């Protein structure tokens, strides 16, 4: 007898453009508050709400962002800020890092030296 086990590799990314308009609005709303909050507890719960809106599990790092690629401003990739192979697009004074998703890094990486 074979036992059904949950897939070992969960999908830890989401595509903003695949979300419903309501979920996109909720994602944008909580991400903006999370970017600006100075309360760590609030930040954590906002990240959980953002992951829920994006339909993905909150990664162990506790933070997700949408791709900030300057080459394709419409990139909808949402991913773990601790995922391998990310490039920081620009430093930020806010909470959430500005990162390129792994696909964008493969196709047109920003030069951090610029
Ligand atoms: Zn991207
Ligand atoms: Zn890109």
Nearest-CA neighbor of 77 among 103, 53, 50? 103
Instruction: Give residue 69 CA to ligand 2 midpoint distance, Å.
Output: 5
Whole-angstrom distance between the N-terminal and C-terminal Cα of the chain? 58
Q: How far apart are CA 68 and CA 13, in angstroms?
A: 15
Going by the DSSP 8-state scheme, the letter that residue 108 receives in this structure is S
Which residues are 88's β-sheet partners?
Answer: 99
- Dig out the tokens for 40 from the structure: 């760590």
State the distance from the centre of ligand 1 to the C-alpha of 42, rounded, in angstroms: 27
Among the bound ligands, the one closest to the CA of 108: 2
Q: Which ligand is nearest to the CA of 16?
A: 1
Nearest residue to 94 via CA among 51, 41, 33: 33
Q: Summarize pLDDT for 48-59 with one digit per residue, the tens.
A: 999 999 999 999
Residues 8-56 pLDDT 10s: 445 689 999 999 999 999 999 999 999 999 999 999 999 999 999 999 9
């Amino acid at each position: 007898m074979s036992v059904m086990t949950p897939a070992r590799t969960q999908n830890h990314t989401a595509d903003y453009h695949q979300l419903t308009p309501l979920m996109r609005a909720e994602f944008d709303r909580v991400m903006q508050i999370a970017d600006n909050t100075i309360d760590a507890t609030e930040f954590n719960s906002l990240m959980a709400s953002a992951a829920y809106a994006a339909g993905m599990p909150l990664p162990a790092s506790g933070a997700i962002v949408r791709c900030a690629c300057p080459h394709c401003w419409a990139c909808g990739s949402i991913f773990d800020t601790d995922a391998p192979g990310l490039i920081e697009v620009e430093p930020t004074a806010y909470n959430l890092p500005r990162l390129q998703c792994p696909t964008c890094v493969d196709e047109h990486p920003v030069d951090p030296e610029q």
